[in-house]
Amino acid sequence: MLNSSNTSSDKNADVQNAHHALSLLDDPVGGHQKENDQTTSLPPVAEVRDLSFQFNGTGAEFFKIWIVNVFLSIITLGIYSAWAKVRTQRYFYANTTLDGSSFEYLADPIKILKGRCIAFGLLLLYTLLGRSSPVLFMVCALVLLAFTPWAVRQSLAFRARYSAWRGVRFHFNGTVKGAVNTYIFWWAAASFFGFLLPAFLRKQMQYVVNNMRFGDVDFKNDVETFPYYKPFLKMLALVLPVFIVGAVLAGSLGRETAAIFFPVLVALIFFLASVYIRMSLTNLRFDNATLGEHTFHCRYELKSYFWLVLTNTLGVLFTLGLFYPFAKVRQAQYAAEHMSVTAVGHLDEFIDRQQEDLSATGGEVGDLFDIDVGF
């Protein structure tokens, strides 16, 4: 009985194997159905795109806005300057595009005017009390110094809050404590010990960039300290020999010639050094900054940027300021042409999470200090 049972089981197994083989012949793909199911369940690879910024404004367009802003600001004794700022910002935001969408500036001129009145009041108080006695002058100076970190933080938060792209707003999460550490302690250290200036500039960059957020995603820039020293060291290595050679040549040319030659040489050297350092700091601030998986690139070049700054400066000087709107547009065009984003996936996946509801008192206080102090 046991042997017959085993024989029957073997026959059944053979029949099942034969049916399975026939099913594979009828549907050869079916044997890999599980593997295909596993393959199709894998998440798709995110598309990587290189996106460039574009600026579509023109100097002639902005000149019309600028000249009206100047005229109305003068005849209103500066009151219209808040509306002038909003018009200017909206023009540059609206003409700056990324991935086919322009930026938005949503600020209320009244709040800007309120911030400027506060700043002007403090400055006026500082001037009047400072003239009355040296003691009051020092007290006012300390008050303004203590006010600075809050003003910087407030201005950064204001500008971020009223800047948007595709309906998603920016946010600034920096604290007053962080501003005090950056703009008081680090600034004081760099003022007393000049070699700490690059470290202070890096600390400033980190406070601004690493506390910025778009929707619910944080910006990040982790550049080390040494790259901030490199442009200063390079300029020092270039300026010192040129300065020494220029001084020797100026001495050999005679007193009258040297009085003209040497100041011109020094001005050109410092102009070149300032342009190079500004270019380098801009690249350090924006190049390789990240927003989630997206990476920013900034490629300012010394030759082209030097020519831009030089021609803009000469244009403004020789036209008594009338070239300023064109210079500002040229600067915006240059920035757009030399900045880009490597986007991983779609840029419209950001979520603008609203902050938690505050109490009524907290909301009123927040509205009271929702101002742009102008830093």
The 10s digit of each residue's pLDDT in 235-269 is 888 877 777 776 676 666 666 666 666 777 778 88
d(CA 257, CA 306): 27
The 10s digit of each residue's pLDDT in 160-174 is 999 999 999 999 999
- Sequence-distant (6+) residues with CB within 8 A of 262 are 246, 247, 250
Confirm whether 159 is domain-assigned.
yes
- Sequence-distant (6+) residues with CB within 8 A of 212 are 160, 170, 171, 172, 173, 218, 219
The 10s digit of each residue's pLDDT in 278-325 is 999 999 999 989 998 999 999 999 999 999 999 999 999 999 999 999
In this structure, are residues 248 and 254 in contact, taking their beta carbons and an 8 Å threshold?
no
| pLDDT for the residue numbered 250 | 63
Residue 77, by phi and psi: left (phi above 0), alpha (psi -120 to 50) or beta? Answer: left
The 10s digit of each residue's pLDDT in 337-375 is 999 999 998 777 666 444 433 333 333 333 444 555 554
- Sequence-distant (6+) residues with CB within 8 A of 117 are none
The long-range contacts involving 16-23, CB below 8 angstroms and separated by at least 24 positions, are: none
Domain extent for 116: 107-220
Confirm whether 373 is domain-assigned.
no
At 47, the pLDDT band (50, 70, 90 cuts) reads: confident
Average pLDDT over residues 19-25: 47
Confirm whether 128 is domain-assigned.
yes
| pLDDT for the residue numbered 162 | 93
Confirm whether 335 is domain-assigned.
no
What rounded mean pLDDT belongs to the chain?
A: 81
d(CA 349, CA 101): 14
Confirm whether 191 is domain-assigned.
yes
* C-alpha closest to that of 115 among 346, 309, 371: 371
Cα–Cα distances in Å, from 8 out to 13, 22, 37?
Answer: 9, 21, 36
In this structure, are residues 113 and 79 in contact, taking their beta carbons and an 8 Å threshold?
yes
- Record the tokens describing residue 25, joined without a space: 């012949």
Q: Count structural domains, the chain.
A: 1
The pairing of beta strand 48-55 with beta strand 339-344: antiparallel
Angle between helices 59-75 and 81-94 (to 10 degrees): 170
Instruction: Name the helix (H) or strand (E) containing 333.
Output: helix 324-337
At 1, the pLDDT band (50, 70, 90 cuts) reads: very low
Confirm whether 305 is domain-assigned.
no
In this structure, are residues 112 and 85 in contact, taking their beta carbons and an 8 Å threshold?
yes
Confirm whether 171 is domain-assigned.
yes
Confirm whether 92 is domain-assigned.
no
The 10s digit of each residue's pLDDT in 169-208 is 999 999 999 999 999 999 999 999 999 999 999 999 999 9
d(CA 21, CA 17): 6
Task: State yes or no: pLDDT of 31 exceeds 70.
Answer: no
Q: Is the dihedral of CA 272, 274, 275, 277 positive or negative?
A: positive
- Report which of residues 154 and 15 the model is more confident about: 154
| pLDDT for the residue numbered 372 | 57
d(CA 82, CA 372): 10
